[in-house]
Chains A and B, each alone.
Chain A
Amino acid sequence: MTRRQPHTSNRPTPPSLLLLTSVLVLAHGLAACASPASEAAAPATALENKGSDTMVNLALAWAEAYQVVQPDVRLSVTGGGSGTGLAALVNGTVDIANASRAIKDEERAAAVANGIEPVEFIVAQDAIAIIVHPDNPVDQLSLPQLSAMYRGEITNWGQVGGADRPIVLLSRETNSGTHVYFLENVIRLGQSDNPALFSPDTLLMPSSEGISAEVRQNPNAIGYDGLGYVTADLKTLAIAAEDGGPYVLPTIAAVRNKTYPIARDLYMYTRGQPAGDVQAYMDWLFSAEAQAIVAELGFVPVR
């Protein structure tokens, strides 16, 4: 499991260092004869934040920015997956769980049995845009068509109403959260028992820039990326959940009213109604500053 911490978040202070600090503060206090205790020695609250790997970079960026806003609160951010985060919340070991899916009924029941009432916050949204070359005549695709393309069953643009050209499939590398989301929700159409995989001919690009550079110059290419990363010189396709169904372009409005099919809410769950430092943090997450970070990382802000 990956465990990462923002640079500013403190690892447990070694006892010797604590002792040294208190001795120094004591000396300082004696010398100044009755000065209030130095701020550095004020006990900091530590908040544990764990869960979704998709959200781990977002949670880290938030935690780092929050260090500046509220230096007394220390956030420790860990990935591990949505299930891991919610399990930790149920067991009462974390203050905030991150999840890229809603809590399941059995998870909620288990939490209530432990005397914990999970409270849900939708902190951001994640939408994946399908991008092609601006000259590509194809305007829309359905999820089953996309799935067949990425499985290597549809190999020519002519089969989906385009020109007679081979399809070049582009994807992010396997370590990207977007890759896994695309595999589960597009290629496998959200069916957990579906064993379909990316076609071996899929080009795995090490960066978002690699995908957009290739799509920008290659009329054969199709790629996907977080909505926030798509630039104006690329063509985004309208997507329908089913063949013939309503085709929807990925706009912020379509993501918010849930008509765009390749999008999901990103959640944070707290133990009961948040209070004190947790409440302050959750309130800050909906501030303009925190939601600007959402947009920077390629997710869709909720405010």
Chain B
Amino acid sequence: MAPSLATLKPPARASRNWGELIVEALIRAAGYSAILFVFLILLFLLREGLPTFAEVGLGDLFAVRWYPIEDYFGLLPLIGGSLIVTLGATLLAMPLGLATAVFVAEIAPRWLREILKPLIEVLGGLPSVVLGFMGMLALAPLVRETLNTPTGLTAFTGSILLAGMALPTLVSVAEDALDAVPRSYRDAALALGATPWQTIWRVTVPAARTGVLTAGMLGIGRAIGETMTVMMVTGNAARLPDGLGALFLPVRTMTATIAAEMGEVANGSTHYHVLFTVGLALFLISFLVNLMASAVVFRQKKRSERLLS
């Protein structure tokens, strides 16, 4: 045994090492490429967007009128529009998503769970333009008639559709977090005489709260960047949202503005640079949301490490 090993091993190990080296290098390149791409995108946005600050005064950028063909470049209505649609989507999606995740993870029998999970994920695969079209033709009239608003093309209509789009991510991640709560927690609670509902609400969900928060963050990230759906159902009126009542009025989001105006804008004009500034603002907002989500996940890891030690 020993002599044959000695004679066979060196060439085999050498060839495997070469193969491993190449595979390792490829994997490393793939890993770094993501960082490189994000960095290049940021660089591109900065190159195209920064001239804005030389061409348009800060006072004009932080104004309330957006009418670019007459050189009104107030960004506040667009930022406000994106925020209010996202806020509405979060308020709708969080309770619904959490309830769905609790049902799927804790209450539903095994067979139902195996049907529900894939179905929820299919919802996430719907093309956004299809959702937008449905929203425009079916949901908008419903919103106008039930809420008695002047038009059905409101921030709220966009929020409903965005909540629907954020739900699959939210449910999937939250369900995983609930699933990861050790069985012993539930057993202990039930043994102490807690009802199943008390166990879920007081023990399981709090134990999984960081995972649930991450799910919410990822859902928000999905919602704020969505374009096609909101462009079709929010009416695109660039009016500054003034309070929660504006949720039931038309708004214009940052993404819809870029999508609607980029196609026809003259390359290198002020309007072109301002649209890239809007893109830059969007990039920073989603970056912040993702950073917060990562920070929460990171904290969760440290906490579980503490529990184990």
Q: Which residues of A come within 8 Å of B, CB atoms?
A: 1-2, 165-168, 173-175, 180, 197-198, 200-206, 210, 213-214, 217-218, 220-221
Q: Which of B77, B137, B266 sits near A200, CB closer than 8 Å?
A: B77
Q: Is the CB of B232 within 8 A of A206?
A: yes
Q: Is the CB of A168 within 8 A of B150?
A: yes
Interface residues of B in 260-278 (CB under 8 A from A): 260-261, 263-266
Q: Is the CB of A173 within 8 A of B65?
A: no
Docked complex Cα distance between A214 and B139 (Å) = 12
CB distance from A83 to the nearest CB of B (A): 16
Docked complex Cα distance between A175 and B152 (Å) = 24
Q: Which of B65, B70, B144, B231 sits near A218, CB closer than 8 Å?
A: B144
Q: Which residues of B contact A203 (CB under 8 A)?
A: 151, 153, 235-237, 250
A–B Cβ pairs within 8 angstroms, 22 of them: A165-B150, A166-B150, A167-B150, A174-B67, A200-B239, A201-B237, A201-B250, A203-B151, A203-B153, A203-B235, A203-B236, A204-B236, A204-B237, A204-B260, A205-B236, A206-B236, A206-B259, A210-B136, A213-B136, A214-B140, A217-B144, A220-B151
Q: Which residues of A contact B259 (CB under 8 A)?
A: 206
Considering only CB atoms, which chain A residue lies closest to B66 in the complex?
A200
Is chain A's interface secondary structure helix, strand, loop, or mixed overall?
A: loop
Q: Which residues of B come within 8 Å of A, CB atoms?
A: 64-65, 67-70, 72, 77, 136-137, 140-141, 144, 150-153, 231-232, 235-240, 249-250, 252, 259-261, 263-266
Q: Is the CB of A220 within 8 A of B260?
A: no
Docked complex Cα distance between A202 and B65 (Å) = 12
Q: Known: A175-B260, A197-B67. Is A210-B237 also a contact (CB below 8 A)?
A: no
Q: Is the CB of A174 within 8 A of B69?
A: yes
Q: Which residues of B contact A2 (CB under 8 A)?
A: 264, 266
Docked complex Cα distance between A44 and B126 (Å) = 49
Docked complex Cα distance between A239 and B249 (Å) = 29
Considering only CB atoms, which chain B residue lies closest to A195 in the complex?
B70
Q: Known: A200-B238, A204-B237. Is A221-B260 also a contact (CB below 8 A)?
A: no
Q: Known: A200-B237, A206-B236. Is A1-B150 also a contact (CB below 8 A)?
A: no
Docked complex Cα distance between A180 and B67 (Å) = 12
Q: Which of B64, B65, B151, B252 sits near A168, CB closer than 8 Å?
A: B151
Q: Is the CB of B238 within 8 A of A218?
A: no
Docked complex Cα distance between A142 and B249 (Å) = 28
Docked complex Cα distance between A173 and B262 (Å) = 12
CB distance from B238 to the nearest CB of A (A): 6
With most chain A CB atoms within 10 A of its CB, the pick from B77, B144, B150, B252 is B150
Q: Is the CB of B141 within 8 A of A217?
A: yes
Q: Which residues of B contact A168 (CB under 8 A)?
A: 150-151
Docked complex Cα distance between A200 and B80 (Å) = 14
Considering only CB atoms, which chain A residue lies closest to B70 in the complex?
A197
Q: Is the CB of B236 within 8 A of A200?
A: no
Q: Which residues of B contact A165 (CB under 8 A)?
A: 150
Docked complex Cα distance between A206 and B252 (Å) = 12
Q: Is the CB of A213 within 8 A of B150?
A: no
Docked complex Cα distance between A165 and B144 (Å) = 13
Q: Which residues of A contact B240 (CB under 8 A)?
A: 200
The 10 closest A-B pairs by CB, nearest first: A175-B264, A203-B235, A166-B150, A204-B236, A200-B239, A168-B151, A217-B141, A174-B69, A203-B237, A173-B260
Docked complex Cα distance between A11 and B269 (Å) = 25
Docked complex Cα distance between A206 and B230 (Å) = 11
Q: Known: A197-B67, A200-B237, A200-B238. Is A174-B153 also a contact (CB below 8 A)?
A: no
Q: Known: A2-B266, A173-B261, A217-B141. Is A206-B250 also a contact (CB below 8 A)?
A: no
